Homo-oligomer: A and B are copies of this chain.
């Protein structure tokens, strides 16, 4: 509960590695360096690339580089890229666009939870990849 998933954890490690690297970084390079599953980190990198946080270079000697400055990439960006922006809610009624909530209008804690969520997001938004290098 309230734990970061391994994917996000690997994503952050990878982002830091790429940000600190001089040239392109391959999935193998990262998986070796941190003793992480290659396939898994590769998938995470693909998601980060698809989200536009890093750019891929295919083929031999390929790999990834940052798509923009590390100071312009927040932890929220990384989390959203990997988990999907829909995971942004602390409870489902704050997450879903449809606003489905079984407790419905009986729910007395929706507003305070919204405030908490806002504060949490602030934490992740404020911290940039540049700060973890």
Contact = CB atoms under 8 A, between A and B. Distances in A.
Nearest to A102: B35
Contacts of A89: 3
Contacts of A123: 116, 119-120, 123
Contacts of A35: 102-104, 106
Chain A binding surface, main DSSP class: helix
A123 B113 CA distance: 11
Interface in A81-120: 83, 87, 89-92, 95, 102-104, 106-109, 112-113, 115-116, 119-120
Contact of A91 (B4, B79, B83, B109): B4
Contacts of A91: 3-4, 9
13 contacts: A1-B3, A3-B92, A4-B90, A4-B91, A12-B113, A13-B109, A16-B108, A34-B106, A34-B107, A36-B103, A109-B132, A116-B124, A120-B120
Nearest to A124: B116
Contacts of A113: 4, 12
A127 interface: yes
A17 interface: yes
Nearest to A8: B1
